[in-house]
Structure 1
């Protein structure tokens, strides 16, 4: 680990000194170290103090702080925001250096809306208005990301619902053979230009009528390209085991790895079933590569879905197209004010968004701590009152779940947000603090890091994130400042 005298003559871009290094591998080796960066990569790692006379343009004293890989948010809906709002402060401020977009069957590309003046099909409207969908090919999206140069890296899945909207006159039916062939051609183009794979959102109204055979046919090009299949299951409620079995069948058919998105046991009648759910995943792991992601909260957030309207949980309306004044209110309160039942109130609010307080702590704990689980925020950046996971998911894992609840050691928490995520999604030379790897790094205070975002005040940067580097560039300063530096060094990451 020690360097020769000839290496001392070089001036590095940055040296971060005296840090507690947790490298993202999951190993509990809290090494005190100095780390030198140059040309966007990690050039040297040495014992703390060994670089005392090394030269660098920027020198950072990390005494008392942890240095880890930058966090990889594997489940986001930042597709259009990385271009329209490239500073990406909600993610950068919590230590995220890479986002995976295109989840739940919805992606910004390739998309050609049949009526560019209409509201995008639900749930594609979560990504913005029709004006946000201006990437008819995946290649055009890649070019737009690189031209915008967001502050974080971007990797992308292709959405099944997005493909359906390109080629079908109605989405409430199965696709024809010709429509499937057209969708496959677009997916193949995307894979050629570095897409990670295919995502589905089979629970949503515009995809639920797609039979398993349609998805199997679409997944066929993935294996040759080394792609993956990520799925928002057809059900996260009573039929979750059957929905998981469908996902595993699709993965086996296509001979690709499967990622179950935001694994949960949703709905009161489903509480307590996480043991059998994760046992089913473990059983599938005996025969194929499967895993899941999870966000660290007991509430979900999406569009206001009439199928999920119930009086057994609290439902908070976050936005409404016809009734924007109702944003922030509970659905039950709105129904009472209008003197109608919950379902009628939800119908009047359409299209709308909602937070559903639909999970139980024990189930979230069991899923989040499972060895197959990585962390994704599933944040909705275009929501005027977003779920706090948009700003707080990763610090919450570090502070609340690891430090306070002791659900897992800090090294395991970091591995779930870095090394394991990079391996699962094929992000080469990311996710670990290794010589030669890209210098995506976060410096944080393990004693104070925590999520500050709440359901009533969700747009709050985390505490305890001291600094974030993306491709070797200091992109965020924490402490009292809590601000982006303005130096954006993100790029599109193709599947490797």
Structure 2
């Protein structure tokens, strides 16, 4: 193949896994103007920069389907935690929480306070969703940002009392805010009815607030009302909302919590499969048997091993177990939790067999669900994607490397309507990862959660090399990915 111009970047000698699940093949990849312009035998052709990928896999940049990076992409624009593991795009605004739209006097309840720790007027949130999108465009970070809007955020913006169901007037106000967000390009809306600020929202409230989704191609993603004893009922509610709105639903971080529910994925996954035959359903999962979220206050949510990940009042106790802290203070776990607020925690409450079964389910996307706060976050913030490639694909053999890459690239792009990304093909944006299939592995642990992965050689965002051999090169070439209007 010959080309009229030099390539900006030429990746030679690698094995392409293109994100479609097709078998790998040997090819060089030529990039110009931030796009892939040639794939094939390109040896000897001129390029400003040439990368040797001999013995390595060349794949699309990974798309993190479930993040809470809404504020991090502005406050921590190098995004080392994501770039270092091959992530080139983050989907934000999950679990019902986004940092826009909020007024200066909007309440910031947990878990929203994990994203917006200061007052909204301090520059961590925005009056309209379009203000947030414009801020992202004005200050690009190292990865692409694909934002959603949160239902809990709409409630906080609209309602003085979050402990009740919204009135018809409040629903109308939230619907207008959602319409504004969709017009600004939001990929969809998320809910977090498992959390106190949205727990009082009925199925009917959610449906009525989300009416503007219908016919737009936007998605409805949800941290379901219950991921433990009532998981089937929560799936039924999720599917009912999707049917009522005629939209795709995304079941966020599918899991089964608490020992009495261990093994229940043998029931939930066939239930999800059956729903997929009748409507558009997607799901994601992270590759760990411990979850992480706000530090709960209710005693019944504080059982088992709980490790403090961040604390606004007692940062010196980060990394300690809640039970030990409560015992030292001579108080209940609930009282200890109150004293540690605002805080996040890691909950060891899932069965590894369920995690593997959900990961291996064909249509499961990969999402980190990492919280970029505190000095001791869950290791999934830094380790999710190489852990899937190394531990679950290579070591355990849950699925082929082609399938693993598809779960974190092409499948995710398809489910969220992210166009011209997620697949290595001519004409697409040049988001590319070069990794060593024999050594790629997560190094982040619960004791040392901010360790970069092994085996991620190069990460290219929109045609610019951003990460190379365990070092960030300083590029901030990400863009805002907005939904194509129908």
- TM-score with structure 2 length normalisation? 0.97
Structure 1 position 441 matched with structure 2 position 444: no
Give a deviation string over 1:429-485, Cα, whole Å, max 9, x none. 00000010100000000000000100011011111000000111111112xxx1211
Contact 1:268 1:358 (8 Å CA) reproduced: yes
Which of 223, 226, 230 is matched with 1:239 structurally? Answer: 230
Which residue of 1 is the match for residue 33 of structure 2?
39
Query: Is the aligned partner of 1:263 residue 2:250?
Result: no
**What is the 5 A alignment of 1:348-363?**
348-363=339-354
Inter-CA distance 283–113: structure 2 relative to 1 (3 Å threshold):
farther
Distance 2:310 2:12 in 1: 46
Q: Which moved more, 1:230-239 or 1:281-290?
A: 281-290
Query: Which of 169, 177, 186 matches 2:160?
Result: 169
- Seen in structure 2, the aligned counterparts of structure 1 residues 309 and 451 have a Cα distance that, compared at 3 Å, is farther
In structure 1, C-alpha distance between the alignment counterparts of 2:335 and 2:248, rounded to whole Å:
41
Pairs within 5 Å for 1:292-331: 292-307=283-298, 313-331=304-322
Equivalent residues in 2 for 1:123-162, closer than 5 Å: 123-129=111-117, 130=119, 131-162=122-153
Question: 1:11 maps to what in 2?
Answer: 6
Deviation at 1:207, TM superposition (A): 0.4
Q: Pick the aligned partner of 2:275 from 273, 280, 284.
A: 284
Q: Which of these residues, 337, 362, 368, is aligned with residue 371 of structure 1?
A: 362
> Which secondary structure state, in structure 1, belongs to the residue aligned with residue 63 of structure 2?
strand
Write out per-residue CA displacement over residues 63-87 of structure 1, whole angstroms, 9 at most, x where no aligned residue: 0000000000010000011112111
**Contact conserved, 1:112 with 1:133, CA < 8 A, in 2?**
no
Query: Could you tell me which residue of structure 1 aligns to residue 412 of structure 2?
Result: 421
* Cα offset, 1:147, TM superposition: 1.0
Q: Partner residue of 2:481?
A: 493
Query: Which of 23, 30, 33 pairs up with 2:18?
Result: 23
Structure 2 distance, partners of 1:13, 1:260, is: 40
Could you tell me which runs of 5 or more consecutive residues in structure 2 were left unpaired when the two chains were aligned.
none
Cα pair 2:379 2:444 within 8 Å, conserved: yes
Distance in 1 between the 2:302 and 2:6 partners? 64
* Cα deviation 1:300-338 (Å, max 9, x = unaligned): 001111347567521101222332222111011112211
Q: Find the residue that maps to 2:381 and give its secondary structure.
A: helix
Q: Is the 8 Å Cα contact of residues 113 and 342 (structure 2) preserved in structure 1?
A: no
| Ranges in structure 1 where 5+ consecutive residues have no aligned partner | none
Q: Which residue of 175, 178, 192 maps to 1:184?
A: 175
SS state of the match for residue 42, structure 1? strand
Residues 296 and 302 in structure 2, CA contact (< 8 A), matched pair in contact too: no
Aligned residues: 481
Asked whether the 8 Å contact 1:310–1:342 carries over to 2, the reply is no
Secondary structure, counterpart of 1:306 in structure 2: coil
Deviations 1:96-124 (A, max 9, x none): 00000000000011121425xx7x21111
> What pairs up with 1:444-483 in 2 under 5 angstroms?
444-478=435-469, 482-483=470-471
Contact 1:13–1:38 (Cα < 8 Å) also in 2: yes
Residues 311/225 of structure 1: CA separation in 2 closer, same or farther (3 Å cut): closer
